[in-house]
Amino acid sequence: MAKVLFLTNSDFGQANVVLAVAHALLVRRGPDVEIHIASFGSLRDPVSKTSEFALRTSGKLGTRQIIFHEIDGISWGPAAWRPEVGYVEINDQVPNFSNALRAVLGISAVMLPWRPEEFLDIYRQLEGIISKVKPDVAVADVLLTPATTLCHYLSLNWVVLAPNTIKDFALPSQPGLAMLWKYPLTCSALPFPLPWSSIPRNIVLCLAAGYGLLTSTRVKNTTRILGQNVDPSIQLITANELGVLRPAPPGLKVLCAISPDLDYPVRVLPPNLEPCGPIVRAVPSLGADEPLNKWLLRRPTIYINLGTHMKASPEEGVEMALALRDVLDHAASSTSALANDEQGEPQILWKLGRKTSRPGEKIERDVFDGEWRGVLDVLTRDMDHDRVRITDWVEAEPKSILESGGVVCSISHGGANSFYEALCAGIPQVLLPAWADCYDFGNRVEMLGIGRWANKQAKPRWMRSELAGCIVDVLFGPEAALIKRRAVELAKRHPEASGRDRAAEKIMALAGSTRSTVDNCETE
C-alpha cells in the first residue's frame, strides 16, 4: 500500500485541488493507498467530509479514511491578509499603472507572508510529520513554502500540486522575451492579446516584478534564519524557484490545474510542468426533493457568487441590483427567448457578500434593512414572487448548484475554482475580476468564447450599464447561442472528474516508482 502525504495550506483557493485529488485517489485506488493530509486546523472538517464522501462513493473494501495531521500556526491566506504584508492594500484598488506597480512589487511578500520565526516553526512541524508518516510520495501545495523548501532539502520523492495555470509558470521559458510584450502580467488587468499601446506598461511592470522578487528582504530574512537553524546550504523554494525566476529543481514535476486548450497559447511548455486539466472537487449532488433544487429547476437561473473575500458596500449592492433589474426588465420585454432555454424568463440566486460602512457594526445574516434596504427596494416585486433570492450564505456547495441543470449563467469574481466549476458544468460565465490572477480569467472567458469580462470599465467593482449589458449579451444577444454551444463543447472535453483523476494517477505512478525501487533493493 502506497502512502501519500499532502502538505497544504487550509485556504480553499489552495486546498480545493488537494481535496479533489485525495477524493480521486480514494475512489480510484482506495485499497492501494493510505492518504495523509497535513494542514492547519480549519481544514480538518473539510478533510473529514471529503473522506466520508469518497468512502461512500468508492464502495471498495479496504479503503481507509484520510488521516489528518494538524499544523499549529497561520495558513497562507490569513498571513497574507495581515497589514504588514500589504496584500489588503493591493486588493480592491483600481488597477491603474501606479497601483499595478505597487501590486507587482508586493508579489514577493504575498508569496512568503510568514514571519521568519513562523516559517521555521511550520517547517519543524512538517519535518516531524514527514518523519512520522514516512510517505512514498509527498505532494506539496505550491504556496506552502515551508513544505516545498523541506521536501527539496530532504530530497524526498515529491511533486508540487498547484491550482495555478500554465501561464503562471511558463512565461519565462517563452522565446523572444515574449513575457514582456505578448502576455499581460498578473495584477496588470491588461487585455490579451496585448495592444501595442499597453506593451511599454507591461514591460515596466515585468521588470518591476523581477526587481521586487530579487531584492525581497522577506526572502533574505527567512533564508538567513533557516541557515542559522537548519543548514547554511539550504535553499528556499518558493513558487518563484519552480520556473519563474529560476528553473525548477531537476526531476521535480509541477501538476497544474489547467490544460493547454484553456490557457493563453504558449510555444514552449517547460518539461517539469504537467497540465492535468481543471481539478475540481467532487461534492454531493443536490437531492431531487431538496427545495433549492426544485426552485433552481423552476426557471432558468442566474447564479451570482463573488467568492468569500469580495464584499460589497451598500452602494455597490444597489448598483448590482439595478443591473439585475435591467436584465429582468429586458427579459420581460424581449421578443427573443433565452438562447439556451425554453422555460421562459430567468430567475436569480444572489449570494451577496456584504461589508458595512459603519465601523464595528455586525451584519445580521439575511437581514437587509437600514443602509441595505435599497437593494431590496430595487428588486422587491420579483422577490415577492420568489423570482429573486438574495442571501448572505447558501448552504449548498456552489458546484452542486452549477451542476443542478437549472443554471444558465454563472456570475463570479473570476477565481480559478469558480471559473473551472462553471466551465466543467458547461455554463456561460460573466466575470467581475477584482485582483491578481482573476483578471487573467476575465481574458480567458472571452478568449474561449464562453462569456464576458463584465467590469473592464468599472474594475475592480461594477457599473450598472456595463454589467447589465454583458449579462443580456450572454443570455439574449446575437452571440448567446454560440456562447452556450462553446460552453457545452468545452464541458464535454473536460468532464468534471478528469483533471483530478489525471493528477491522482500521476501521483500514484510516482509513489509506485519509489516502492518498486525499495522492493528491488530488498530483493537484492
Domain count for the chain, please give it: 2
**pLDDT of 522:** 35
Is the domain of 255 the same as that of 144? yes
Q: What is the DSSP letter of 193?
A: S
Q: What is the mean pLDDT of residues 77-97?
A: 85
Tell me the percentage of the chain whose pLDDT exceeds 70.
96
Amino acid at 319: E
**pLDDT of 448:** 98
**pLDDT of 521:** 32
Who contacts 325 (Cβ-Cβ below 8 Å, separation ≥6)? 378, 379
Using an 8 Å Cβ cutoff, are 4 and 505 in contact? no
Q: Domain for residue 274, yes or no?
A: yes
CA-to-CA separations, 356 to 79, 91, 508, in angstroms, rounded: 23, 18, 48
**pLDDT of 342:** 45
pLDDT tier for residue 86 given thresholds of 50, 70 and 90: confident
CA 116 – CA 114 distance, rounded (Å): 6
**pLDDT of 335:** 61
Q: Domain for residue 89, yes or no?
A: yes
CA 327 – CA 409 distance, rounded (Å): 12
Q: Domain for residue 286, yes or no?
A: no
Is the domain of 470 the same as that of 507? no
pLDDT tier for residue 514 given thresholds of 50, 70 and 90: low
Is pLDDT above 70 for 211? Answer: yes
CA 165 – CA 263 distance, rounded (Å): 7
Beta bridge partners of 3: 34
- Mean pLDDT in the chain? 93
Q: What is the mean pLDDT of residues 269-286?
A: 96
Is the domain of 261 the same as that of 398? no
Is the domain of 10 the same as that of 112? yes
Q: Domain for residue 321, yes or no?
A: yes
CA 466 – CA 454 distance, rounded (Å): 6
Of 522 and 63, the one with more pLDDT: 63
Q: Which of 144-153, 237-246, 371-380, 487-496 has the lowest mean pLDDT?
A: 237-246
Is the domain of 168 the same as that of 137? yes
Q: What is the mean pLDDT of residues 309-334?
A: 94
Q: Domain for residue 310, yes or no?
A: yes
Q: What is the mean pLDDT of residues 173-197?
A: 96
Q: What is the mean pLDDT of residues 377-386?
A: 96
Using an 8 Å Cβ cutoff, are 278 and 166 in contact? no
pLDDT tier for residue 419 given thresholds of 50, 70 and 90: very high
Q: Domain for residue 186, yes or no?
A: yes
Is the domain of 473 the same as that of 514? no
Tell me the percentage of the chain whose pLDDT exceeds 90.
83
Is pLDDT above 80 for 515? Answer: no
Using an 8 Å Cβ cutoff, are 154 and 133 in contact? no
198 φψ region: left (φ > 0), alpha (ψ -120 to 50), beta (else):
alpha
**pLDDT of 39:** 98
Q: Domain for residue 332, yes or no?
A: yes
Q: What is the mean pLDDT of residues 497-513?
A: 94
Of 338 and 245, the one with more pLDDT: 245
Is the domain of 341 the same as that of 460? yes
**pLDDT of 324:** 98
Of 44 and 370, the one with more pLDDT: 44
pLDDT tier for residue 243 given thresholds of 50, 70 and 90: confident
Q: What is the mean pLDDT of residues 346-357?
A: 92
Q: Which residues of 13-47 are buried (b: 16+ CB within 10 A; e: fewer)?
A: bbbbbbbbbbbbbbbbbbeebbbbbbbbebbeebb
Q: What is the mean pLDDT of residues 222-246?
A: 93
Q: What are phi and psi of 301, to 5 degrees?
A: -110, 135
Q: Which range, 16-30, 97-111, 356-370, has the best average confidence (pLDDT)? A: 16-30
**pLDDT of 245:** 84
Query: Does the pTM of the predicted model rise above 0.75?
Result: yes
**pLDDT of 339:** 52
Is pLDDT above 80 for 274? Answer: yes
Helix axes 314-333, 464-476, angle to 10 degrees: 40
> Considering only CA atoms, which of 103, 92, 85, 91 is closest in space to residue 188?
103
Is the domain of 261 the same as that of 350? no
Using an 8 Å Cβ cutoff, are 503 and 255 in contact? yes
CA 39 – CA 15 distance, rounded (Å): 9
Q: Which residues of 272-310 are buried (b: 16+ CB within 10 A; e: fewer)?
A: bbbbbbbbbbbbeebeeeeebbebbbebbbbbbbbbebb
> What CATH number corresponds to the domain at position 465?
3.40.50.2000
Who contacts 315 (Cβ-Cβ below 8 Å, separation ≥6)? none
Three-state DSSP class for 408? strand
Write out the H or E segment, with its range, that includes residue 7. Answer: strand 2-7
Is the domain of 470 the same as that of 510? no
Who contacts 480 (Cβ-Cβ below 8 Å, separation ≥6)? 338, 339, 340, 428, 473, 474
CA-to-CA separations, 268 to 171, 261, 395, in angstroms, rounded: 9, 14, 43
Is the domain of 227 the same as that of 330? no
Is the domain of 81 the same as that of 124? yes
Q: What is the mean pLDDT of residues 291-295?
A: 97
Of 90 and 372, the one with more pLDDT: 372
Q: What is the mean pLDDT of residues 145-149?
A: 98
The domain of 512 spans 2-281+497-523
Give the CB-side neighbour count of residue 425, counting CA atoms within 13 A: 27
Is the domain of 58 the same as that of 24? yes
